[in-house]
Amino acid sequence: MAWVVLVVSGVLETVWAAALEASRGFSRLWPSLLFLVALGASMAGLAYALRTIPVGTGYAVWVGIGAVGTALYGMVVLHEPASVLRLLCLAMIIGGVVGLRFAS
């Protein structure tokens, strides 16, 4: 169960990062509120998962999911560059996250 919560918390990290960008420096109400809710839920889920998952592994997986999700959001929604090298680097992060899961 802790791993499921950790993955959901990583996805929520992507949500709060996207909401932070959309808030335009907290000048827009609804994205700012979404940021706060997603941030709180993401941190709470991480804290729950770290009850049973080692902190180094849990934090690395959480950050990895959030980083990959946010980068993909940027490429797909915000039309940021999606070069082969960037995609390869994201694939390596995913490989590291999967590796950490099986190494725990």
pLDDT for 10-56, tens place per residue? 999 999 999 999 999 999 999 999 999 999 999 999 999 999 999 99
Percent of the chain residues past pLDDT 70, beyond the cut:
100
For the chain, what is the domain count?
1
Residue 104 has pLDDT above 80, yes or no: no
5/83 Cα distance (integer angstroms): 31
Average pLDDT for 50-69: 96
73/65 Cα distance (integer angstroms): 12
Sign of the CA dihedral 51, 7, 38, 88? positive
28/10 Cα distance (integer angstroms): 24
Residue 102's pLDDT is 87
Residue 103 has pLDDT above 90, yes or no: no
19 closest CA partner among 69, 84, 90? 69
Residue 24's domain spans which residues? 2-103
